[in-house]
Structure 1
Amino acid sequence: MPTGIHHVTGITRRVQANVDFYAGFLGLRLVKRTGGFEDAEQLHLFYGDALGSPGSLVTFLVWEDGAPGRVGHGQVAEIALAVPPASIGDWLTRAMTARVPVEGPLRERGETVLRLKDPDGVIVKLVGADLPATAPLPDPIAPTRLRGVTILTEQPAATRDFLTRFGYRPGSTEGAAQRMESDTDVVDIRDATGFFPGIPGTGILDHVAFRAPDADAVRRMRLALKDTDATSVHDRKYFLSLYVREPAGTLLEYATDAPGFTVDEAAEHLGETLFVPPHDAARAEDLRVILPQFALPGEERSPMRELHFIHRFHRPENPDGSTIVLLHGTGGNESDLMPLAHRIAPNATLLGVRGRSTEEGINRWFRRYDAVTYDQEDIRAEVEAFAGFIAEAARAYGLDPAALTYLGYSNGANLLGAVMQLHPGLIGRAVLLRAVQVLEEPPALETQALAGSRVLMLTGARDPFARMAPALERALQDGGTALEARTLDAGHELRPEDASLTAGWLGHG
C-alpha cells in the first residue's frame, strides 16, 4: 500500500520565473498545465519526474503579480528533493553559475544538503539521497523524487499524532524538529512556538498532499475525519482527494495515485496542452485567454519588463500586428477584459494593465470620495503616470504609440477620457464603455487638439452614471475628436452588443 507524499503545492507570483527554475534549472518535467479546479482563472502547473509519478510532484498555483504571503507556523516551510548523493558538487556549481541563492553543503541528519531559494523565495532543499526515480528524467543529476517537507507548528505533538493517520511513524528528534517517516520520505515537524503565524499569498507553500491507495481509502479517511474540518471528496480529474487542516492549521490533502496525468495526454506529450476543468468547459476559450502565458526552456519567448504598472500580454497564435491596451473597471485586473477583446479582435495582441489605486482591497485607477466624487489630484497624477507607462512600454516592447487602440470599461474608461483631455494626441483610437466625465475642471482644449483621434462611446440607458456621460462627449467633440456615441439598452454592466458594436467600429478603422 503506497504511503508518503503525493505532491506539494505552492503559490507563485511570476509564472515565467517559476517555469525557468523548476523546469529549467532543476530539470523537472512540466507534466500538466490546467486551470485550477477551485478557481479556473488560476493557472495550475505540475512538475515531476518523466511521468509525473506520485511522490515526485511539485505543483504551483499562479497568482500573477499577487500579494506576497508570509511563512509562519501552520504552514509547510520547505520542500526537500532527493538528488544522487554524488551530484551535490555539480548542483552547487550549477546554482552558483545560475546565481540561484544557495546555502551549503550542510550535513543534516546524516545527509548532505544544499538549501536553495526559488524566485519567490520558497526554500528548496536538495538532499543527497539514494532514492531512485519511478520514471527517471534525462538529466542524470535531476531530482528523483520528493525527500520530504518541513512543517512549522505551535502544537508539535498534535501535528505529529495527526500525521500517523497518513502512514507516518515517529523517527528521530533533532533540536526543535521531530522527524516523521513513511516508507519513502519524511516530514520534519519543527516547533515554531512563539513564531509568527503564516499568511496566505505568493511565495508560500499552500499544502502537502499524502498518497492514498485508492478512492475507497479516501472515502474511509473522510469518515474517520468526520469530527474535523475535512472537505468532501473532490474529483481533480488526475486524482481524487480531500483536504483537512491538522490541529495547528497546516493544510493537508489526501490524494489517490490514479488515474494520473496520462488520462488526457499521451506520455510523450505531457504538459504541452492547456486544459481547463471539465465543469468550466463552457468558458474554456475565455479561460485560455485569461490564464498567463509562458515559454518552456528552449522555446521562443517574449520577455516581460518591470514597468510602473503591473501588466500582462496575451499573444494570439496568429497575431495581425495590432495591439489593444485594456483598462479594467473597479475591482478588475489586467486580464479581465481579455476575453471580451479577444472576441472583438481574435488576432490582436492584448496588453492588459492594472490600476495602481486600491479601495477596500480592490483595484481602481484613481481614488474617489464617493460614487460620483473623485480625487482630482489623484486623477491627474495617475494620468501622468499612465502616459509615462505608455512611453516606457513602447520603448521596452517596440510598440508604436500611434498605432495602439485603447479599450476601457467603467473606471478604466474614465481614466482614458481624462488622458485624452490632459494629454491630447497620446491616444489615437479608443473604445470607452460606460465612461463619464471625471474631471471637475477639464482643460479648455483647442478646437483641433484631438483632431485625428477616433472614439467610440457606449453608454447604458439604465446606467445610474449615464447622466455624467454627455459632459465627456462634449469635451471630446469640442477638442476635435471623431466621436461616435451610442446608447444601449443596458445598465452599467457589459452586454453582448458591446462586443459586436466595437468589432464593427474597429473594422472601419
Structure 2
Amino acid sequence: MTSGIHHLTLITRDVQANVDFYAGFLGLRLVKQTGGYEDAEQLHLFYGDRLGTPGSLITFLVWQDGSQGRVGHGQVSEIALAVPPASIGFWLTRALTRQVPAEGPRQEFGEPVLRLRDPDGVVVKLVGTEMPAAAPWASPGIEPGDAVLRLRGATILTETPEETAHFVGRFGYEPAAKADGVQRLISESGDVIDIREAGGFWPGAPGTGVADHVAFRAPDVEAVAAAEASMARLNSSITNRHDRKYFTSLYVREPGGTLIELATDGPGFTIDETEQALGTTLMVPPSDAERAEAIRVMLPQFARPGEPRPTYRDLPFVHRFHVPAEDDGSTIVLLHGTGGNEADLMPLAHRVAPQATLLGLRGRSTEEGTARWFRRFGEGRFDQGDIHAEAAAFAAFVEEASRAYGLDPARTTWLGYSNGANFLAAAMRLHPGLISRAVLLRAVDVLEEQPPADLSDSAALIVAGEADPYAPGAEALAEALRKAGGKVELAQIDAGHALSDADVVTIRTWLAAR
C-alpha cells in the first residue's frame, strides 16, 4: 500500500546530541548519512527501521551550532511515533532515568500519548497504537515489544485550517475526528496529519529546532510527474522536482505555508550500501563527486551510541574538530576569512597534513550577517577596541582549549586566512607567548599601535599572493613581527587573494622544516 507519510525532515544544531537521542535513546536505525543535495556541505541524517522503509523515516539537516528557529503557523509543531500501547510505561521510565524532558502520558483521540523533547526542543510524541512495523529494528536496551514501530504522524499549524486540510487530502488523507481545535486526517496506511488552527499565532521562522517539511509517499516517478502537472493546472504554489538518488521528490507549499514534499518509495537506501552496512558510510551527492574528499573533511563528525566520541567544552568560540582515521598527534587550528566558518579551511589543511587533527574556530564579530574576527569601520579602518577585546577572549580560549583538549604547543600550528590571519597576527603581539607557530595567508597588519612584545619563541610563515592588491601589506606585517623578535618567512606565490594549490605546497614545505 503506497499512502501516508514518507518521511519528516527537521533541523538540528548538534549532530552528536541528535544521534544520541534518535539512535541511542529512541533506538532508531541510522540508515543513511549524506551531504545535502541542495548544499553538499550540510550533513543530512536519515533514521528509520531496519531498511529505512518509507513511513518510518525521520531525517535531519545538520546546521551545526546554527541559530534557533521559531515554531509558528506554516510549520510542523509536533512529530509522532507509534509504539505498542503497553510500552508507554517503559518509555516514561526510560525518559526519567535518562533525564529526557517528558509530559504525560495523557489521552488524545483515544490513544495514550507521551510527549518528549529532543535536544533541540522538538516535541516528539510517542503514541500507543497498534501499527505494524514493516522492518523491525532491534536496538540494545529496548525489547522488541517496546520498540518504535514507525511514524504515527505530524501536527501542522495553520491560519487556514480548511484549505490546509483540503490540500493534504490530495495525498490520500480523509477526515477522521476533531477535538480541541485539531482536525485529524488519516491515510490508508494508518498514519495521521493533525491540522491545528493557529490564527493570530506568530509565523514560523527557519532555524534549528524546527521542522523543514513533511514528505508524503508516491509509488513512482510517473505519479510524481502526474502530481506536478495536476498542481500546475490548479495554479498552486511553485513546484520543484529533484532526483535525490534514493527517491525522487516534488516540493510545494500548502496554502497555510508548510513545505510539502511528494517522494517516491524507490529506489531506496540499499542501492549503494548493503542492508548490514546501511548508514555506515558518508555518501556525497553525485553532482559533487569531484570534491567528495573536501566535503567529507568539512562535515561534522559524530559517534554512534557506544562508540568513543570527543567531548566538546563550552569555550568562548564556536569550534569543531575533524579527527582523521590515522592521527599523527599534530593539530592545526584554523581561523577563517570574512564570511567563512569553522569548516572552511579544513579541506586545505587536510591536504597540507592528512594525518593532523583539525580544529576550526568561528569568529564572533559580524558584518552584514557575515562572520568576522573583529569589526571594521570601513575599508582599511579597523575597530581597535574590538581587536583587543576579541584577542583577550581568544587568549582565554587558547588557554582553556589547550588544557581541555590536551593540545601540545610543540605540535600545534595556528593557521589563519585573510581576516583570520590578520586577527591571529594581532593576537600574537597582544598576547606574547600565546602562539609559537603560525601560518598567515594573505595577511596585513591591523594594529594602529605596536604593543611591546617578545616573539623570540614564535615562528611565522606569511604567504602573499603576487596578484593580491593587499600584498604590500604582507611585507609591513613581516617587518613588524621581526621587530618583535619573531622568526618570519615571507613567501610570494603566483596567486591573488584567493587560496590556491601553491598555498598547500608552500605550507607543507615550511612545516616539514620545523
TM-score between both structures, scaled by the size of structure 1: 0.98
For 1:109-508, what aligned pairs fall within 5 Å after superposition? 109-138=109-138, 139=142, 140=144, 141-183=146-188, 184-226=190-232, 227-445=235-453, 449-508=454-513
Q: What secondary structure sits across from 1:269 in the alignment?
A: coil
Cα separation, 1, equivalents of 2:318 and 2:478: 29
Aligned-partner Cα distance in 1 for 2:127–2:362: 41
Kept after mapping to 2: 8 A contact 1:156/1:189? yes
Alpha-carbon offset, residue 502 of structure 1: 0.5
Give the residue type in structure 2 aligned to 1:492: H
> For 2:276, what is the secondary structure of its paired residue?
helix
Number of equivalent positions: 506
Q: CA deviation at 1:402?
A: 4.4
Supply the RMSD in Å over aligned alpha carbons: 0.9
Task: Report how far residue 419 of structure 1 moved.
Answer: 1.1
* Partner-residue secondary structure (3-state), 1:253: strand
Paired amino acid for 2:436: G
TM-score (norm 2): 0.97
Unpaired segments ≥5 residues, structure 2 = none
Cα distance, 1:474 vs. partner?
A: 1.0
Match of 1:88?
88
After superposition, the C-alpha distances for 1:391-429 in whole angstroms (9 at most, x for unaligned) are: 111121122234320110000000110011111121111
Report Cα offsets for 1:329-387 as digits up to 9, x if no partner.
00000000000000000000000000000111100000000121000000001111001
Read off the aligned partner of 1:351 and give its amino acid letter. L
Q: For 2:168 and 2:451, how far apart are their aligned partners in 1?
A: 67
Indicate if the aligned counterparts of 1:222 and 1:230 stay in contact, CA closer than 8 A: no
**Who is 1:31 aligned against?**
31
CA contact (8 A) 2:328 2:356 kept: yes
C-alpha separation in 2, matches of 1:467 and 1:268: 58
State the partner residue of 1:13: 13
Q: Which runs of 5+ in 1 are unaligned?
A: none
Query: How far, CA to CA, are the matches of 2:197 and 2:450 in structure 1?
Result: 61
**Does the CA-based 8 Å contact 2:494-2:502 persist in structure 1?**
no
Distance in 2 of aligned mates of 1:497 and 1:402: 25
Q: Could you tell me how far apart the structure 2 residues matched to 1:499 and 1:437 are?
A: 23
User: % of aligned pairs identical?
Assistant: 65
Per-residue CA deviations over 1:93-139 (Å, capped at 9, x if unaligned) read: 00000000000010001000000000000000000001111001213
Instruction: State the alpha-carbon separation in 2 of the partners of residues 78 and 42 from structure 1.
Output: 24
- The amino acid that maps onto 1:162 is F
Q: Whole-Å Cα distance in 2 between the matches of residues 186 and 493 of structure 1?
A: 52
Give 3-state SS (helix, strand or coil) of 1:262's partner. Answer: helix
CA distance in 1, matches of 2:102, 2:473: 58
- Kindly provide the CA deviation profile for residues 55-89 of structure 1, in whole angstroms up to 9, marking residues without a partner as x: 00000000000011000000011110000100000
The question of whether the paired residues in 2 share the 8 Å contact of 1:329 and 1:364 is answered with: yes
More displaced 10-residue stretch of structure 1: 299-308 or 42-51 = 299-308
Instruction: Tell me the amino acid that sits aligned with residue 65 of structure 2.
Output: D
How far the C-alpha of 1:300 sits from its partner, in A, is 1.6
Q: How far off is 1:52 after superposition?
A: 0.6
Secondary structure at 2:296 match in 1: helix
1:53 and 2:53 aligned: yes
Moved more, 472-481 or 393-402: 393-402
Following the alignment from structure 1 to structure 2, what is the Cα–Cα distance between the partners of residues 176 and 396? 51
Deviations 1:161-211 (A, max 9, x none): 101110111121112111111012000000000000000000001101000
* Corresponding letter in the other structure for 1:224: S
CA distance in structure 2 between the partners assigned to 1:444 and 1:323 by the alignment: 29
The question of 1:107 aligning with 2:112 is answered no
